[in-house]
Amino acid sequence: MVSISKYPGLADVVKTSQCFRIVLFLAFSDVKARYKRSVLGPFWLTLGTAGGSAGLGLLWSELLRMDAKTFVPSLTAGLILWQFIAGVVSEASVLFSRQASIIRNLNLPLSIHPAQLLLRHLINLLHNIPVFFLVALVLGHPLTIESWLAIPGLVLVTLNLLWLALLIGLLGARFRDLEYLIAMVMPLLMFISPVFYRPNYLPFSEQIMWFNPFSHFIEIIRYPLFGLAPPNFIVLTLISMLVVGWAFYIGVV
Amino acid sequence: MAELCFEHVTVQYPIYNSRSMSLRNQLVRISTGGRIENEAGHIQWVTALSDVNFTLRDGDSVGLIGHNGAGKSTLLRTMAGIYQPNIGLIHRTGKVATVLEMGAGMDVELSGYENIIRMGVLMGVSLSDIKSRIPDIEAFTQLGDFLQLPVRTYSSGMATRLMFAVATSVQPDILLVDEVFGTGDAEFQIKAKERMEALIKSVGIFVFASHNHDLIKQYCNRFFKLEHGQLQEIVTL
């Protein structure tokens, strides 16, 4: 019996988790199709990130008179994480209109598309992570036991990005201006997030930076990579975002 | 055992024009408090199906006729569960397969073989099942070594062969088809017709939307006529 259930948004997500293998297959198939005709394939991402962090890192550590040994690993981690977050958020706005032919012709839950987007970017992230470890190794940056905390941090970030991608996707399908609005806002958000620096480098604007949710997304993963457990307020922010975000999605959609 | 039952089903969808799609107009609407509300907030609703009732059981082959825009494709999509009704209930038992707009999810950068698997997975078929169907698809499409090449190198006829072969490689209980005969070259048309006929015989419920009354008479034993979203069963064509 097909009836309109009380929480269609939730029912849709549950259906997606049931056909998770389809999502996984599609994400890999998309990555494969994208790099079909290139020799290095997704490893171009790895090289791009490596080049970017080497160039920016060496230049800025000199400009900002910082010790390259701590600055370059921090910048590398920041850039990699920002690519992941910004990639998901910017693509989310055109997600559903791009998949229109699948949506109109196949009986599949709608949330497979955000899930697939997220997985695709996680696959890209996996290609970028070795750059960080290489930088850490070369510059003798120590990784400690606390570094494992980055993994639950990444899980929290991913689950938060999923509801965000769902909502942005839905709004983007309705309001076509959103794509351009997000393209405009994301660079601004990058500057008020700790991509290029650690929060404590800022003498007075640190408070402003914490208003940007993406600052928390980055720091919950980057603190552990520098051998420290993330401060409680960051963990709390992410958990409350997770609860409020999903509650809002389930309640509204 | 297949069954498909519609009870007072109404399907409507909103058409957002570029003005109501724009965030600016929505914001202006809030700030101006209804003064230009008529213009900015105007969303047109299209009633594609209105109060549709029927019951289909094993052995029913339905021919669906109606003018362009009468709601035939919407009805097929609603039967498949792709569109949800705004009002009413749908009762569906049995596995559904559709031959609507073919090639949903096809990626032209991937090879023929990779696309067979990709489209199959999207249709909800398991990986091992799809792989076991590859010989059958190879034989039907006669694309040979082309299946190893990216689909972007195919002519449109070749792509149609591939899409048709994948779409008809399933074993459903309910088969929903939107006008597909008459694509490809003469040889392919004959083969496609044979394949379609074999598939029609094997399913419990068959629904076929077409403008070709001869074809409908040939395959169907019940006839539905759609007019402005309203469905009427007619005895003879």
Task: Summarize pLDDT for A158-193 with one digit per residue, the tens.
Answer: 999 999 999 999 999 988 889 999 999 999 999 888
Query: Would the pLDDT of B38 be above 80?
Result: no
Identify the pLDDT of residue B29.
62
Identify the pLDDT of residue A9.
87
Contact B24 A174 (CB under 8 A): no
Contacts of B111 (CB under 8 A, 6+ apart): B147, B148, B149, B150, B151
The C-alpha of B22 sits at a distance from chain A's nearest C-alpha, in angstroms, of 5
Instruction: Tell me the DSSP string of B95-126.
Output: -EEEESSTTTT--TTSBHHHHHHHHHHHTT--
Q: Which two tokens stand for residue A233?
A: 């307020």
The C-alpha of A159 sits at a distance from chain B's nearest C-alpha, in angstroms, of 24
Identify the pLDDT of residue A1.
37
Query: Would the pLDDT of B35 be above 50?
Result: no
Q: Are B101 and B76 in contact (CB under 8 A)?
A: no
Interface mutation vs chain A, best among B23, B43, B86, most A CBs within 10 Å: B23
| Cα B226 to Cα A58, B66, B75, B87, distances in angstroms | 70, 5, 9, 18
Q: Are B122 and A106 in contact (CB under 8 A)?
A: yes
**Contact list, B124 vs chain A (CB under 8 Å):** 19, 22, 107-108
Distance CA A104, CA B209 (A): 17
Q: Which two tokens stand for residue B68?
A: 């362009």
Higher per-residue confidence, B90 vs B32: B90
Contacts of A35 (CB under 8 A, 6+ apart): A41, A42, A44
Contacts of B183 (CB under 8 A, 6+ apart): B157, B160, B164, B189, B192
Contact B114 A29 (CB under 8 A): yes
Nearest neighbour of B109 by CB, restricted to A1, A33, A105: A33
* A183 SS3 class: helix
Contact B89 A106 (CB under 8 A): no
Identify the pLDDT of residue A45.
84
The C-alpha of A163 sits at a distance from chain B's nearest C-alpha, in angstroms, of 21
Beta-carbon contacts below 8 Å between A and B = 82
The mean pLDDT of B114-130, rounded to a whole number, is 91
Chunked into runs of 10 residues, chain A (253 residues) has average pLDDT values of 66 90 91 85 86 88 83 91 95 93 91 95 93 89 87 96 95 91 93 82 78 94 91 95 94 83
- Regarding pTM above 0.80, the answer is yes
Residue extents of the structural domains in chain A: 24-33+42-252
Identify the pLDDT of residue B124.
86
Q: Which of A77, A74, A9 is nearest to A246 (CA)?
A: A9
Contacts of B73 (CB under 8 A, 6+ apart): B100, B178, B209
Tens-digit pLDDT profile for residues B62-92: 999 998 888 899 999 999 999 999 999 999 9
**Using alpha carbons only, how large is chain B's radius of gyration in Å?**
21
**List of domains in chain B:** 3-8+53-234 (3.40.50.300)
Strand B61-65, strand B205-209: pairing: parallel
Contact A19 B16 (CB under 8 A): no
Contact B109 A176 (CB under 8 A): no
Q: What is the residue type of A96?
A: F
Beta bridge partners of B5: B55, B91
The C-alpha of A94 sits at a distance from chain B's nearest C-alpha, in angstroms, of 14
Q: What share of chain B is helix, strand, coil (3-state, %, to 5)?
A: 40, 30, 30
